[in-house]
């Protein structure tokens, strides 16, 4: 069995993953990364005690990248933030006349939606809201990778066209 993260050894909403692996009769488990969670870690030791061969570190860098938001959540109390910018080579976000125009291509827009599908919330400045009235939804990505649309975040006091203003700052 190949896994990106060490099977857990704790009872949460489900029983320990390590116990399910043992019960399935798996002979060998290749784990990319040890679980950093002080609550969940220890599954590899449980597997080894059950006589299962365990190998760590295969494709560790790729697994850390794939699970970067999870590792960040364990190590920090700050949110995982993804910044998406569409800018020209000279750093502009509009054409020479100041008009909004497509700077990116279809492939980069699809990738932006794929990334957006994995986020919980999306925030834009009031200038973008007023100038572009963006949909802020997930489109242009396979249905299987989509969850619900991200929550939309706006600064207090800012409002989109046709929307009531947010609460005023004290």
Residues in the chain: 170
pLDDT tens column, 63-91: 999 999 899 999 999 988 888 887 777 77
Say yes or no to pLDDT of 48 above 90: yes
Measured CA to CA, the distance from residue 65 to residue 107 in angstroms comes to: 21
Measured CA to CA, the distance from residue 7 to residue 40 in angstroms comes to: 8
Burial 66-80 (b: 16+ CB within 10 A, else e): ebeebbeeeeeeeee
Can you tell me the mean pLDDT for 39-50?
Answer: 95
pLDDT tens column, 114-160: 888 888 888 888 877 887 788 888 887 776 566 677 888 766 655 55
Query: What dihedral do alpha carbons 143, 139, 157, 120 form, nearest 10°?
Result: 30
Predicted TM-score (pTM) of the model is 0.65
Measured CA to CA, the distance from residue 5 to residue 21 in angstroms comes to: 13
Q: Are 56 and 83 in contact (CB under 8 A)?
A: no
Can you tell me the mean pLDDT for 9-25?
Answer: 94
| Predicted local confidence at residue 166, as pLDDT | 52
| Predicted local confidence at residue 161, as pLDDT | 56
pLDDT band at 6 (very low <50, low <70, confident <90, very high): very high
DSSP H/E element including 61: helix 60-66
């Amino acid at each position: 069995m190949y896994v990106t993260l060490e099977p857990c050894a704790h009872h949460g909403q489900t029983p320990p993953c390590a116990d399910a692996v043992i019960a399935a009769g798996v002979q060998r488990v290749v784990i990319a990364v040890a679980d950093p969670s002080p609550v969940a870690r220890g599954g590899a030791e449980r597997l080894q005690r059950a006589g299962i061969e365990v190998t760590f570190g295969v494709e560790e860098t790729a697994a850390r990248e794939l699970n970067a938001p999870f590792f960040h959540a364990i190590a920090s109390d700050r949110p995982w933030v993804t910044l998406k910018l569409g800018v020209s080579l000279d750093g502009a976000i509009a054409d020479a006349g100041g008009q909004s125009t497509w700077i990116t291509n279809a492939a980069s827009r699809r990738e932006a939606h794929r990334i957006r599908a994995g986020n919980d919330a999306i925030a834009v400045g009031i200038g973008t809201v007023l100038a572009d009235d963006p949909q802020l939804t997930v489109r242009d990505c396979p249905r299987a990778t989509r969850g619900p649309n991200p929550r939309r975040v706006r600064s207090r006091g800012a409002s989109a066209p046709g929307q009531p203003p947010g609460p005023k700052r004290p």
